[in-house]
Structures are given as structure tokens and as C-alpha cells.
Amino acid sequence: MANKIRIFSTPTCVWCNRAKEYLTMNKVKFEDLDVVKSKEAAKEMVKLTGQLGVPVLDINGAIIIGFDREAIDRELKKLK
């Protein structure tokens, strides 16, 4: 099964952009879900987290709220 990494974000969110830059820097492919453009993505994010704040990362089902580098690294290590 392929790894599934998604980030729920908005274009103007500084921490969202940092999280995406961090993933890109680490050569991690991910799907960017803009919750401003996609009401479905926004609804899914709220269903997963119960909140409206971004970024939210979904790394193979592990939900990380905010740009938590340690949590991201911990989940990425599980993928290798």
C-alpha cells in the first residue's frame, strides 16, 4: 500500500507553508488540500479534528495538528 500524506491548509497560513516546505525539503510527496477552496476538505478536516485551525497533517491516518516537527518526523520514520 502506498503511503498517504495529506495536509489541510490555506494559502495565507504561515505555518501551513512551513509544513509544506518541510515536507518538500525532506522529499516527501503529499497532497495539499486547500480548505478555503474546497468545502469538502474543510468538512473532512473538522470531522477528523473537531477544529478549524490549520495546518492539519494526515500521515497514513495519524493526525497532527499544527506544524509539530517532532510529531511529523516520528510519523515519517514509520513510513521507511
* pLDDT score recorded for residue 17: 97
The backbone torsions φ and ψ at residue 38, rounded to the nearest 5 degrees and listed phi first, read -115, 105
- Cα Rg of the chain, angstroms: 12
pLDDT at 69 over 70: yes
Model confidence at 77: pLDDT above 80: yes
Give domain limits for the chain. 5-79
pLDDT in tens, 1-54: 567 999 999 999 999 999 999 999 999 999 999 999 999 999 999 999 998 899
The pLDDT assigned to 80 comes to 73
Strand partners, 64: 57
Residue 2: the pLDDT is 65
Q: What is the predicted pLDDT for the residue at 79? A: 85
**Which of 42, 38, 35, 40 minimizes the C-alpha distance to 13?**
35
Global confidence as pTM: 0.92
Give the Cβ contact number of residue 35 at 10 Å.
Answer: 22
User: What fold, for 5-79?
Assistant: Glutaredoxin (3.40.30)
Within a 10 A sphere around the Cβ of 6, how many other Cβ atoms? Answer: 18
